[in-house]
Structure formats: C-alpha cells, structure tokens
Chain A
Amino acid sequence: MSAIRTEAYCQAAREGMADPVLQKALSGFQHRVAPATAQRYRRHPEGPQVRQMAHAIRMHAVEHLDTLLPRLADGILARGGQVYFAADAQAAVAYGLAVARRRGVRQVVKGKSMVTEEIGLNEAFQDAGIAVVETDLGEYILQLAGETPSHIIAPAIHKTRKEVGRLFAEKLGIPYSEDPPTLTQAARAALRTQFLSADMGVSGCNLACAETGHITTVSNEGNIRMSTTLPKVHIAFMGMERVVARLADHALLFRLLSNAAAAQKMAGYISYIGGPRADFQADGPEEFHLVIVDNGRSRILADPEFREILCCIRCAACLNVCPVYGKIGGHAYGYAYSGPVGAVVTALLVGLDRAKHLFFGETLCGACKEACPVEIDLPRLLLALRHRWAEGRADDLFRGGGDRLEALVMRLWGELARRPNLYQGARHLAVAGQQMLPAEEGRITRLPPPLHGWTQARDLPRLARRRFVQRWAAEQARGEGGR
C-alpha cells in the first residue's frame, strides 16, 4: 500500500499555506473551473434533476455489485480477457507482478489511475526492477520530479511552468523553456519512445459497464489509449465500485463526469475496452487483465451509513470548490485521495484514528455537496465519521478511539444545556473569570489553552454582563416587555 501520512495533516497544511506558488495556483484553478462547472450543470437536457438521476444510477449500481461485477467479468472472459478479484492492495499488486514476470516485462507505460496510487503499484514494480512511466502529462512531470499528485484531475497543479522548464532541461536534456506548447511537445517526444518500447500498459477504469462487459477510460491527452493498445499486455485496475448496470447509464455519467471534472461537454477520448485484440481488430494487446480491487470497499458497502461514498466517480469537483482544499492543497491529505472526498474515503480505507484530522479539519460548509455530479452528501458523511470516532459502538464496522477528556467536557456541557439554572450559574463564573484575560477596548486578545488558537489572529468579544434572556426577564418583571 502507498505511504499513509494522514497524521501530519496540520503540519502539511501549514506548509501548503506557506507556499505562495501553490496558493496562487489553487486560487486561480478554483476560480476558473468551479464557476464554469456550475454553469454547465444547468445546461443538461434532464434539467435540474440531472445530479439526482446520476445519484440514483450510482446508488443502484453500488447496491447491486454482487450481480453487476460477475456480469462484467463474464463479458470480459468471453472475449478472452482475464479477470482477477483482489481482496486487498497486496493481492492486486502481486497479481500485476506475476503477470509482468511471466511475460518478462521490463518496461511499463501507465495511464493516470487513482487506485494504483492507492495500492502502491508503481513502487512495487520499481522495486521489482520494472521501469514504470506515467504518461499523463501532469503525472509525468511529477514522476520526473519525484513528487506525488496534489489534485485528482490536475495532479501537478502545484508546479509552475518555470519549475517544469527547469525540470525538463535537467531530466530530458532539452534547452530551458517555459513555453507550455514547447514543454508539451518535449514530453510527447519523450513519451512516444516509451509507448513504442513498453512491454506492458497499465490503466485505471473510470466506470465499467456490466451490460456490455467493458471497462471505460477517459482522457484528454490520448495517452491512455496509447498505453492500452500499443504494448502486448494491458492490465486495468478498478475499484470494485466503479461499475454501472447499463450502457445507457454511461451516457449520462460520462457527460456529468466531463462536466464536473473540467467543465467540458465531453472529454476528448473515451475508450471502451472489453478484452485483448480480436481477430478483426488491427490494434490492441495480446493479453488483457482486469483487476477488480476490494481493499476495504466491501466493509464500506456493508455499512449503510457510509455506502453512499462508493457512488463517487473521482471527478474532483468537490476539490475545486472546497475552501479548505483551496488553502492547504492536496498533499496535506496525506494519501492518494484529497479534498472532501479524500477526507471521507481515506478515513474509511486507513482507519478513523489515523485520518481523524481529515474529517475534523473541515468546516461542513456544504460547497462539496452542491458541486458533486452524483450529489453525494459529503457533509453528512463527515458528520457520521465524527460521530463514529467520538461515540462509535463496539459492533460498528468503523469506529475511532475518541477523546475521553473531550467527551467529559461535552457531557458536562450537555448537562448545562438542559439545566437553565446551572447554565446561568456557569455563565456567572465565566463572566467573572474573563476579567482576568488580557483585553483591549473590551475585547479579549489572548485566550488560555486549549482555546488559544482563536486569539492567534482574532480577538473575541467579552461575554455581555447580562444575557439577553436575563434582560428580557427583568423587563417583563417591570412590565415593560412585549405587548
């Protein structure tokens, strides 16, 4: 499995916020893509209900994986492809390595795939002495730089053209340039030789179709089609939830995916792949393998409260509107998935305790839910994670360790909330106590721990001498109150 650095959320977030290049890139990207995406949602012929329709299609598929996945597998087997159900990351990687070894593979070209990031495929291949080349331009840049993606769709969003120019001059041996078309041409030339010499192509799968027995890949650079047709062997990896029942469902979902991911009407290349090259086809691999990865997804499926997250089609629309992601960037999330969806998926995959900063470090503002093409209720899921972390029962599939001190404070607070006299008494103490805090013009300028974070950059008004409710009661007693 790929490295999990979710515990370092706060530190990584600070680093992201201190990076002026990242700040400018995130702000520019969010302001460019998010409004265009929202506007395009209004142009679908299905009307304002289009996202709910997509939600229903995805939810139906997620709840019928037990019949849809065998149907998908049957279609692929019938065309001479091979299908492997991998229980976890290790099994998925081991299968890929076994195929590579059997075929004597020395070089792999890859189309962009999140699930292979999740299972740590590149590292495993490289450890086995097999060279892996990412062919998505953004991923290629990151691979040359030795970095990880910071956005699901725009992985190299944190790099400037100057940085890419220096990187290409060093790694590809071209004269320095910061002209994007020149740099793109240089990458294309370098990648072309890789495509032609690779023994194996690896891809992900955006959404498979059970009815016809195909996986589908989407790209705007054409690189995935090159990766999957030129080498002799093609292995596709898919999360087990990435399937829908009917071909007719695909039309709507790919339209929404293109809309949500890049404000496009339709992405540049959509490929349906159902097996190795058939006799009547000119191109295609000799062998085709589909690895369907569970790696914790069955557990999510088994939990009715969290099942909805499996509807996600990894478009990154929630990242593009999230004010927290917009500040801290994708690396802060410490795993393959970032942004609001990452906060939920990562916690469910790696465990609530390890990822608690991800689901507590969000404001529940709801922008993600409005931007999601399949209308996943991300705020509800974040709240549910917090609840399981704080109060999870022993028989819950997902639970966290909680915090005893915080739980005690909350219990006391709960007693105050239901006992107005006690509430009033506690307030008297607070009003007396606040006199001891440093203040300026009646505003508190420094709070003691654990509240000191507030006054780091903000003042706090003092509690009013009397509550509104007390004043009202006194006025009523004097007979001056409401009529």
Chain B
Amino acid sequence: MTTFSNVSLFVQCLVDNFYPQVGDAMVEIFRRLDLKVDVPLAQTCCGQPAFNAGYRKTARKAARHFIDTFASAEVIVCPSGSCVDMVRHHYPDLFADDPVWQARATQVAQKTFELTEFLVDVLGVINLEARFDGRVTYHDSCHLTRHLGVARQPRALIQAVRGTELIEMADSDRCCGFGGTFAVKYADISTGMLAEKVANILATEAEVVIGCDLSCLLHIQGMLSRKKLPVRAMHIAELLVQK
C-alpha cells in the first residue's frame, strides 16, 4: 500500500453546498484508513461550469484559485469524476499559452484523484469493512467512466460491502442527461434522457442507486423525489461508511 502522510480533500462544490454528509463520509473513510485529512478552507469550485459553457477566461480564474489552494497538497482526492477530469485533462490545456501556469497546472493535475480510483488503484484498498443490507444498482457517470476509465473500481468497492447486492442496470454508462447548464437550457431533452435512466434503475428493483458524481445523483434524485419513487440516490462514499 502506497503511504501518504496527508490527504487533501477537494470536496467538490455540490457536496460542499448541498450534501455535506458526503464530505463527512470521505473524512470517515480516511480516518478508518489512518490517513490524516486536510480540507483547504479556501476551496470553491474547479471552474468546470464556466469551461463547459465556453467561458475559458472565467474557468482560468477558478483554475488559478484551485491551483493556488492545493499547490502544497501531497495528494488531492475528490468525490467527483467530472471535476477530476476537469483538473487532470483540461487544466493543462487551459494554460497552453502560459508555460509557468501550465507547469503548475500539470503538477496539480498529476496528484488529483477521484475517490474510488484513489482507494482501489493508489491505496490498494477494496474492503472498508462496511455493512449495508440492501439491493443497490450502480450508475456510471460519463466523465468518470469514459474520460478517466474508472468503472471497475467502484464496483469492486460496492461488492466488498457486506450485505449489499449489486444489480446491474441496463445501459448503466448511458448519460443521465444532466450535462450542467444543459439540464436547464434544454430541460425537455434532459428530462427525456433522465426518464430513461430512471426506468432502467426501477427495472433492477434496487432500493438505492449508487454513483460517484453528485451532479448525476442530484439529477437522478430530483426525478425520484418528484415522482415519489421508492428508490434513493446515494454517493458511494456514504455507502462505504455504513455500519
């Protein structure tokens, strides 16, 4: 097992603002692994919303702030595939015409990991001694599975939870229709895609849908709640600390 003295959390803005309990779960996971946790208080947002909407000047502002905030971190762990994709793959490109910042961006990019890839690939941990009695299904978020290539790791972690039965849904890696501002600007198309995702979730008869990205989970939960369906969305970090 690779050892680190200190893990810095980038909790991601949706966790920070809407679901602080996912941040608590991350802290608990690392405590159980005897790793010291640090949460830089100046953290805000990685800049992805602006970047995806075409506003790269704004995205660069957010990126510079992120790089400053996490420059001294030993390793950065984030509970979101799309934010890690932003930092790892788009930060270096954002500073293509600025060698100093590009070097700093690349340095930060190389030490930023998504939670499940960090646990499984970097730390070599699969079993966190969690227990959850129930049937769950897993949603592959787009950036995590296609841009970071992480699909096996979360499944291994889920399958190691005692009492949990993982039932695969059809088209688990098909987009849920969130897509940032797309969900608001193209609400009809977005909810059409979401309805398909929710139908696939329901077909598994699982009680919980697990994911690694709060953006998708917020989106999916939004329709589950609206339709008062007996399924709830849960971030994998929360599952991994169930006792």
Q: Residues on A close to B: CB < 8 A?
A: 10, 13-14, 17, 323-324, 327-328, 357, 360-367, 369-370, 383, 385-391, 406-407, 410-411, 413-418, 420, 423, 427, 441, 443, 445, 450-451, 453-454, 456-464, 466-469, 471-473, 482-483
Q: Is B53 among interface residues, defined by CB-CB distance under 8 A?
A: yes
**Choice from B19, B65, B142, B194 contacting A418 with Cβ under 8 Å:** B65
Q: Residues on B close to A: CB < 8 A?
A: 11, 15-20, 22-24, 27, 30-31, 36-39, 41-45, 47, 49-59, 61-62, 64-65, 142-143, 146-147, 173-175, 177-179, 181-196, 218-219, 221-223, 225-226
A-B contact pairs, 19 of them (CB 8 A): A13-B189, A357-B186, A360-B185, A383-B51, A386-B52, A410-B55, A416-B44, A417-B45, A417-B47, A454-B184, A457-B187, A458-B191, A458-B219, A458-B226, A459-B225, A461-B18, A461-B19, A468-B20, A469-B16
Q: Interface SS of chain B: helix, strand, loop or mixed?
A: helix
Q: Interface SS of chain A: helix, strand, loop or mixed?
A: helix
Instruction: List B contacts of A369 (CB < 8 A).
Output: 146
**Choice from B23, B45, B142, B219 contacting A365 with Cβ under 8 Å:** B142
Of residues A361, A460, A468, A471, which shows the largest number of chain B Cβ atoms within 10 Å of its Cβ? Answer: A468
A-B contact count (CB 8 A): 202
**Choice from A10, A391, A454, A466 contacting B57 with Cβ under 8 Å:** A391
**Choice from A17, A410, A420, A460 contacting B44 with Cβ under 8 Å:** A420
Q: Are A363 and B179 in contact (CB under 8 A)?
A: yes
| Given A10-B186, A469-B11: A459 in contact with B39 (beta carbons within 8 A) | no
Q: How far is the CA of A385 from the CA of B27 in the complex (A)?
A: 39
Q: Are B17 and A464 in contact (CB under 8 A)?
A: yes
Q: Are B57 and A469 in contact (CB under 8 A)?
A: no
Instruction: List A contacts of B219 (CB < 8 A).
Output: 458
Q: How far is the CA of A410 from the CA of B177 in the complex (A)?
A: 22
Smallest CB separation, A399 vs chain B (Å)? 11
Q: Are B24 and A482 in contact (CB under 8 A)?
A: no
Instruction: List A contacts of B186 (CB < 8 A).
Output: 10, 13, 357, 360-361, 453
Q: Are A472 and B225 in contact (CB under 8 A)?
A: no
Smallest CB separation, A453 vs chain B (Å)? 3
**Choice from B50, B142, B178, B183 contacting A414 with Cβ under 8 Å:** B50
Residue in B closest to A14 when the chains form the complex, CB atoms:
B188
**Choice from B41, B194, B196 contacting A472 with Cβ under 8 Å:** B41
Smallest CB separation, A319 vs chain B (Å)? 14
CB-CB nearest 10 A-B residue pairs: A453-B187, A458-B222, A363-B179, A390-B54, A386-B54, A468-B23, A414-B58, A468-B20, A365-B175, A482-B37
Residue in B closest to A27 when the chains form the complex, CB atoms:
B196
Q: How far is the CA of A92 from the CA of B205 in the complex (A)?
A: 58
Q: How far is the CA of A472 from the CA of B27 in the complex (A)?
A: 10
